[in-house]
Structure 1
């Protein structure tokens, strides 16, 4: 009875906070897996933008990757926009730095993206360039400016994935190296001016290299929304929301004792809870669930993202009048998030 009541409350919260009549654009990321098509077939009617993470490119600007033709056909049949991701290979800083210093390679990339999009019927692209390094800031902004102008000639859209402008609690600040390599290359104001929207990746507040904690606590997410809105118009900001959970344990990395973590799907988190015989506790301040267990004498700590925590983040997106939400990623989620869609 208690469980049924909790599920009912989640359903009411989702219906009221997430999917009101005014709505939010719902972009959902997916990866190339054997079950990708079946997952999308099941959820396609609850999605506006399908964003497969499948494309990358060489230092010479040659684009490679492919969206499953069956997914393309499904999106066209249901009238959904396809906006695949283009990533810098393995997020390697030195390689992307060399690419951004090569105008011919960039021209080849831009031409290829236009050609592929027109051939396959994509609505546009999302750039997911990470670990660029601070010295690449101006070059990356210039690439985005050129790409946006060229895509617009063909009525194609461009969005940019950007990392959070603040780090882990309690300091809310990244170390100097992480800031220079990961955060500082994004000129949010310029990127917003030369794209249709930005996806703010509002997750990994606590990482595999940090102490255990929420992936994206409510207060932390609100803080980075507020910071992003200093530079980005609200109608050009999509809130990236994690659908995965994370499990920490004490371990040794680089010959030092430190926290070690791995990401879990919702199903994986539920399996861990059942194996441990553990119960979750709701952290009201953070808006997440957590649990503690033990394996081989070593304590383990689980922080979960599920329907209730997602509802709180979507409520933030609506409160600040954002364009929409970007969910990372299909197949990792608590299935209850779809109940009201």
Structure 2
């Protein structure tokens, strides 16, 4: 099965010419069969003729109407897949970013700056690691810290995540499983490259459009699943992704075993290719069948590296009464229920960078989302005095405008720091934040100062 991955990438990922700040510096190539190829160093990266990528014995290449594709067969899968990669025009020629794609293509290199000499070799097969006794302590530097970045907007140059110690993982939303089938998902190579250059991992989010019937049909179509899985594995291998975050919500609870079976099938090639698989889950709520009872959390933990608790929407958008989006007491009550189902070292706690303003008389209220970064302007506008709620460990703000009652549970550094403490209390694996663009300035630094990040044991 040949699946043309990323049919719509031409416009989305800027596969053609990339603008570069530094003038290209020619370098000499050394290595078997490389003497006839040219290469350049620019902006700290090395660019070579595309055919150099085939010297690792892993990839084949093809050109189709000025689009460059590599052919790969992901480990554990029978089908060869076609993945588009970007090239750069340099002095009238087309070149690829060896610094980014070299590892995936099975190549390693060394560079002698004085001689302007780039030596490229085929990577040796990795030696099998001996089994070591499991260390139950958590190294802070390896703790997953996931930032959902819906629109590819996080700027690593600002380094805001650096204030929290851990393995920083960006999770941009690239589309649905249907987009993966059709190659219409969103992509941004410059984003991936910048993340890699700054030591950040990228774990794209894939959703199910939150549609019960369409998801049910997908769960019963193994051929469609195979296409999606093969596409995901190949794309992840070529671009060196950390893995994938599966955000499947609003599903028929009768299909929970089918969802587990799909995740089991997806996990095998991802793990074979060194990638992680994570699944978003809600807290357990027996009264919410399509949003909570649709997951077999225990079974999923056998195949997922992590399950990410969506620790928000305690009071939903449609509530007729004001309430917290994510109170400490609500999480403190629900996390033990989840740790009885899932090993705590496989649970990541997701926290909100937003809240909701409820308006109207209780029993008839409507709500609007309020980003955390906009709370200060709301305080200045209303002149209302925040009141601390000990159980929720949040401030509430109540005021009237033109006779209409308004109430909001604020999310700020003190409330978030209280919830972060649940990480060490229940020995959870890490944190996730929904979402980039909603946060207040320097929230990560403020959390680092306020909250304890002592490892779980």
Q: TM-score, normalization: structure 1?
A: 0.84
> In 2 relative to 1, CA 60–233 (structure 1 residues): closer, same or farther, beyond 3 Å?
closer
Structure 2 counterpart of 1:190, from 289, 295, 299: 299
Partner residue, 2:359: 249
Partner residue, 2:336: 226
Matches within 5 A, 1:117-128: 117-128=236-247
> In 2 relative to 1, CA 247–29 (structure 1 residues): closer, same or farther, beyond 3 Å?
same
> In 2 relative to 1, CA 21–231 (structure 1 residues): closer, same or farther, beyond 3 Å?
closer
Deviation per CA, 1:55-104: give whole Å up to 9, x if none.
21329943532243232112101211111100012x11111111111111
- Alpha-carbon offset, residue 306 of structure 1: 0.8
Partner residue, 2:162: 45
User: CA contact under 8 A between 2:161 and 2:444: conserved in structure 1?
Assistant: no
Partner residue, 2:348: 238
Measure, in 2, the Cα distance between the counterparts of 1:22 and 1:153: 26
> In 2 relative to 1, CA 60–115 (structure 1 residues): closer, same or farther, beyond 3 Å?
closer
User: CA contact under 8 A between 2:180 and 2:232: conserved in structure 1?
Assistant: no
> Which deviates further from its counterpart, 286-295 or 123-132?
286-295
Q: What SS does the corresponding residue of 1:240 show, helix, strand or coil? A: strand
- Alpha-carbon offset, residue 321 of structure 1: 0.9
Question: Does residue 160 of the first structure (1) align with residue 270 of the second (2)?
Answer: no
Deviation per CA, 1:222-274: give whole Å up to 9, x if none.
1111010011111100001111121001289xxxx622111111232222221
Aligned-pair Cα RMSD in Å = 2.2
Measure, in 2, the Cα distance between the counterparts of 1:269 and 1:289: 11
Deviation per CA, 1:185-232: give whole Å up to 9, x if none.
100001111110100111111112221111111111011110100111
Question: Does residue 100 of the first structure (1) align with residue 219 of the second (2)?
Answer: yes
Structure 2 counterpart of 1:141, from 238, 250, 260: 260
> In 2 relative to 1, CA 100–67 (structure 1 residues): closer, same or farther, beyond 3 Å?
same
Question: Does residue 217 of the first structure (1) align with residue 336 of the second (2)?
Answer: no
Question: Does residue 263 of the first structure (1) align with residue 369 of the second (2)?
Answer: yes
Measure, in 1, the Cα distance between the counterparts of 2:325 and 2:316: 7
Measure, in 1, the Cα distance between the counterparts of 2:374 and 2:444: 18
Question: Does residue 75 of the first structure (1) align with residue 181 of the second (2)?
Answer: no
User: CA contact under 8 A between 1:238 and 1:325: conserved in structure 2?
Assistant: yes
> Which deviates further from its counterpart, 22-31 or 114-123?
22-31
Measure, in 2, the Cα distance between the counterparts of 1:224 and 1:114: 34
- Larger proportion of helix: 1
> In 2 relative to 1, CA 63–142 (structure 1 residues): closer, same or farther, beyond 3 Å?
farther
> In 2 relative to 1, CA 223–295 (structure 1 residues): closer, same or farther, beyond 3 Å?
same
Measure, in 1, the Cα distance between the counterparts of 2:291 and 2:388: 31
Deviation per CA, 1:283-320: give whole Å up to 9, x if none.
11111111012223211111111111111111111111
Question: Does residue 331 of the first structure (1) align with residue 437 of the second (2)?
Answer: yes
- Alpha-carbon offset, residue 114 of structure 1: 0.8
Q: What SS does the corresponding residue of 1:180 show, helix, strand or coil? A: coil
Q: What SS does the corresponding residue of 1:64 show, helix, strand or coil? A: coil
Structure 1 counterpart of 2:421, from 312, 315, 319: 315
Structure 1 counterpart of 2:310, from 201, 204, 210: 201
User: CA contact under 8 A between 2:359 and 2:366: conserved in structure 1?
Assistant: yes
Partner residue, 2:184: 64
Partner residue, 1:304: 410
Measure, in 2, the Cα distance between the counterparts of 1:336 and 1:285: 26
User: CA contact under 8 A between 2:361 and 2:405: conserved in structure 1?
Assistant: no
Alignment size in residue pairs: 305
Measure, in 2, the Cα distance between the counterparts of 1:148 and 1:93: 23
Partner residue, 2:289: 180
User: CA contact under 8 A between 1:251 and 1:260: conserved in structure 2?
Assistant: no
Q: What SS does the corresponding residue of 2:301 show, helix, strand or coil? A: helix
> In 2 relative to 1, CA 58–22 (structure 1 residues): closer, same or farther, beyond 3 Å?
closer
- Alpha-carbon offset, residue 334 of structure 1: 2.8
